[in-house]
């Protein structure tokens, strides 16, 4: 449904380090790097972009949910994020209020965005 999505970051070094770390367990990584903008995804498909903040003032939280292949990948994402110093919003668990197999974990990125890894498959 989406072609790509991007967020502006106050500190590109901190944000790129964070996303380099947490997207690896989900099977994604840097696929393009222009210095002021970095694209992540599977090889040759940059679907998620971070860029230096150029517009607007102040902070507006975004929510980003990355697909995980399985529940172990959600846990690996969470462990990588916490190991990187991310604030924990919600540890990995089932969210039956969304649907019976919704398994997700939520953390804050260096800019304060709500970042999730989610698996929709049964255990």
Residue 82, pLDDT score = 98
C-alpha distances in angstroms, 54 versus 8, 12, 44?
Answer: 7, 12, 26
pLDDT, position 1: 54
Q: What is the pLDDT of residue 4?
A: 87
pLDDT of residue 3: 75
Q: Strands 48-52 and 5-9: what pairing?
A: parallel
d(CA 20, CA 30): 7
pLDDT digits (tens, 9 = 90+) for 48-97: 999 988 777 777 788 999 999 999 999 999 999 999 999 999 999 999 99
What CATH number is given for 5-52+61-119 in this structure?
A: 3.10.180.10
């Amino acid at each position: 449904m989406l072609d790509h999505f991007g967020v502006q970051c106050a500190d590109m070094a901190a944000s790129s380090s964070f996303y380099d770390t947490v997207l690896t367990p989900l099977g994604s990584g840097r696929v393009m790097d222009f210095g002021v903008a970095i694209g992540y995804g599977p090889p040759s498909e940059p679907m998620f972009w971070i860029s230096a903040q150029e517009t607007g003032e102040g902070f507006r939280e975004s929510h980003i949910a990355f697909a995980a292949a399985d529940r172990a990948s959600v846990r690996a994402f969470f462990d990588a994020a916490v190991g990187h110093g991310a604030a924990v919003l919600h540890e990995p668990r089932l969210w039956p209020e969304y649907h019976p197999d919704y398994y997700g974990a939520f953390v804050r990125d260096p800019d304060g965005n709500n970042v999730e890894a989610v698996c929709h498959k049964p255990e």
